[in-house]
Amino acid sequence: MTEAQARENGYEVKVGKFPFAGNSKATIMGSHDGFVKIVADQKYGEILGVHIIGPQATEIIAEAVTVMELEGTVEEMMFAIHTHPTLSEAMLDGYAAVEGLAINA
């Protein structure tokens, strides 16, 4: 869901956004354009939507699809291993940004 769709469906939402400019692998690749945006339910932290615009977004989106299918939460994903340096590490910072805890911001 988008942020607007989540609100329309009655959720109180929290959003985290992390730019690829703060991601080490994007720096190595010279590709800083874009971001990861996480839309989560404020009450339980369930991830309702994920938007990825940037390098190799099609390679990263599978994690988001899986966590949403399993009704995963921001907290659960903040403690999932995201190796360094990888583009998928931007997902970790996106989840953490929902709670204001992105390390590389």
The pLDDT of residue 102 is: 77
3-98 homologous superfamily? FAD/NAD-linked reductase, C-terminal dimerisation domain (3.30.390.30)
84 is catalytic: yes
Give the active site residue among 32, 51, 82, 84.
Answer: 84
Question: Structural domain boundaries of the chain?
Answer: 3-98
The pLDDT of residue 105 is: 61
Report the predicted TM-score, pTM, of the whole model to 2 decimal places: 0.93
Could you report how far apart the first and last alpha carbons of the chain are, in Å?
A: 24
Dihedral angle, C-alpha 19, 78, 64, 40, nearest 10 °: -80
pLDDT per residue, tens digit, the chain (105 aa), is: 999 999 999 999 999 999 999 999 999 999 999 999 999 999 999 999 999 999 999 999 999 999 999 999 999 999 999 999 999 999 999 999 999 987 776
Are 87 and 23 in contact, with CB atoms under 8 Å apart? yes
60 closest CA partner among 76, 37, 41, 78 = 37
